[in-house]
């Protein structure tokens, strides 16, 4: 069968691309054909996304001078990183032709046996703050089969209007599965059957991901992978480095990370990203996918929850694996980074959940 997936595969971060790659690889491992629908809205294309995202940043958008400074600093970096990730997308993903608006999808719907909404924050607000029903497969026909795998709302708070928007769009799916326990509760409150499943990156074990690995430093190091602007993450890593004598490497795809603690490794290669996590003595992160790959690769880690409303996804995977004690609650607790993790127990949980989630995924496609 041919499965076409719509997901937010072109956001400028590693998790967005790797979850799309994982979904593709998992479907193909089941004997089906996978294709990513290359839908990139103008506000989410790297060439001009900052012009839209600043509208959600009143502290920068409240006067012309601050707005000009923000765009002058951020837009060149977005273009620089965006081109790097675009090259990786073209190398790793099997995609349709480019679509940039919903009407084009409606007029020229890609042909498939199954249409699928992919994982990650695909049901959250897009870059300009709107909600796009294309990610709910609104461009498909009533006779088409529609499923979702490990979809996420990104956050749990919503207005009555947004709640009704979700309820109306979810009613068209034949099968719904979500990633977080909070998302499961939301969908159930709308009256729909729903399964909670693993993020697609966790459906593939380290042996599968090894095929993508590239060279990483041979010396020991502390690794930072940070997606939110929170100074305490870098400060904690610096104190840990002083105590252990290990250097800090910060992996990222934007030049502004160079002003933060750690030696910046500019990296657009997914293989390098995976290898740096695999080889780290300890990962300090606020990222869901950073956490997921650390768990998958048995890399010790410290979780610093983001200081916004998106931390439920991080907590969900930690609760599932019994690793909530890895959340940093006292920034002076350097011992946490050096405490061993019982990965035997974690691996058993992931193996059981992997089988259950793959079975659900396969049934959704083939039923």
Residue 154: predicted pLDDT: 75
Summarised one tens digit per residue, pLDDT across range 164-186 is: 999 999 999 999 999 998 899 99
Is there a single domain that holds both residue 258 and residue 229? Answer: yes
Among the three residues 172, 197, 222, which one is the final residue of a domain in this structure?
A: 197
Please provide the distance, in angstroms rounded to a whole number, between the alpha carbons at the two ends of the chain: 12
Q: Is residue 12 a part of any domain in this protein?
A: yes
Q: Is residue 122 a part of any domain in this protein?
A: yes
> How many structural domains comprise the chain?
2
Q: Given a cut of 90, is residue 15 above it in pLDDT? A: yes
Summarised one tens digit per residue, pLDDT across range 121-174 is: 899 988 888 899 999 999 999 999 999 999 998 777 889 999 999 999 999 999
Residue 132: which domain range? Answer: 2-197
Q: Is 169 helix (H, G, I), strand (E, B) or coil?
A: helix
Is there a single domain that holds both residue 26 and residue 161? Answer: yes
Is there a single domain that holds both residue 187 and residue 253? Answer: no
Q: Is residue 309 a part of any domain in this protein?
A: yes
Q: Mean of the pLDDT values across residues 250-258? A: 88
Is there a single domain that holds both residue 42 and residue 145? Answer: yes
CATH number for position 31: 3.40.50
CATH number for position 216: 3.40.50.2000
In the DSSP assignment, the letter for residue 151 is: B
Q: What six digits make up the tokens of 186? A: 């939301």
Q: Is residue 345 a part of any domain in this protein?
A: yes
Q: Given a cut of 90, is residue 226 above it in pLDDT? A: yes
Q: Among 31-35, 104-108, 120-124, 286-290, whose mean pLDDT is lowest?
A: 120-124
Q: Mean of the pLDDT values across residues 92-118? A: 97
Summarised one tens digit per residue, pLDDT across range 271-294 is: 999 999 999 999 999 999 999 999
Is there a single domain that holds both residue 43 and residue 168? Answer: yes
Q: Among 45-54, 180-189, 211-220, whose mean pLDDT is lowest?
A: 45-54
Q: Is residue 344 a part of any domain in this protein?
A: yes
Q: Is residue 270 a part of any domain in this protein?
A: yes
Among the three residues 197, 216, 232, which one is the final residue of a domain in this structure?
A: 197
Count the residues in the chain.
367
Q: Given a cut of 90, is residue 58 above it in pLDDT? A: no
Is there a single domain that holds both residue 160 and residue 267? Answer: no
Global confidence as pTM? 0.93
Is there a single domain that holds both residue 32 and residue 133? Answer: yes
Q: What six digits make up the tokens of 13? A: 């971060």
Is there a single domain that holds both residue 183 and residue 221? Answer: no
Q: What is the CA radius of gyration of the chain?
A: 20
């Amino acid at each position: 069968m041919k499965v076409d997936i719509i997901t937010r595969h072109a956001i400028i971060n590693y998790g967005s691309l790797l979850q799309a790659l994982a979904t593709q690889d998992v479907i193909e491992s089941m004997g089906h054909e996978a294709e990513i629908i290359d839908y990139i809205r103008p506000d989410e294309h790297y060439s001009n996304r900052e012009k839209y995202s600043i509208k959600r940043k009143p502290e920068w958008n409240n006067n012309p001078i601050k707005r000009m400074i923000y765009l002058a600093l951020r837009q060149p970096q977005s273009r620089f990183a965006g081109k790097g990730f675009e090259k990786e997308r073209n190398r790793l993903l099997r995609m349709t032709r480019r679509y940039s608006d919903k009407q084009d999808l409606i007029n020229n719907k890609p042909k498939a046996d199954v249409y699928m909404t992919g994982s990650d924050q695909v049901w959250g607000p897009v870059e300009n703050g709107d909600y796009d029903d294309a990610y709910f497969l609104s461009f498909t026909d009533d006779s088409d089969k529609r499923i979702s795998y490990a979809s996420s709302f990104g956050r749990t708070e919503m207005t009555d209007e947004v709640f009704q928007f979700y309820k109306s769009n979810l009613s068209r799916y034949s099968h719904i599965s979500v990633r977080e326990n909070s998302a499961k509760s939301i969908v159930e409150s709308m009256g729909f059957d729903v399964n909670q499943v693993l993020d697609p990156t966790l459906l593939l074990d380290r042996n599968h991901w090894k095929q993508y690995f590239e060279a990483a430093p041979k010396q020991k190091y502390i690794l930072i992978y940070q997606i939110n602007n929170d100074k305490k993450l870098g400060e904690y890593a610096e104190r840990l480095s002083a105590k252990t004598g290990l250097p800090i490497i910060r992996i990222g795809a934007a030049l502004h990370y160079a002003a933060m603690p750690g030696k910046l490794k500019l990296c657009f290669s997914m293989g390098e990203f995976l290898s740096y996590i695999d080889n780290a003595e300890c990962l300090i992160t606020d990222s869901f996918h950073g956490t997921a790959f650390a768990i998958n690769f048995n890399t010790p880690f410290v979780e610093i929850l983001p200081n916004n409303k998106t931390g439920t996804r991080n907590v969900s995977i930690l609760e599932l694996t019994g690793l909530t004690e890895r959340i940093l609650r006292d920034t002076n607790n350097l011992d946490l980074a050096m405490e061993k993790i019982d990965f035997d127990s974690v691996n058993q949980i992931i193996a059981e959940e992997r089988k259950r989630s793959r079975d659900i995924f396969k049934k959704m496609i083939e039923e």
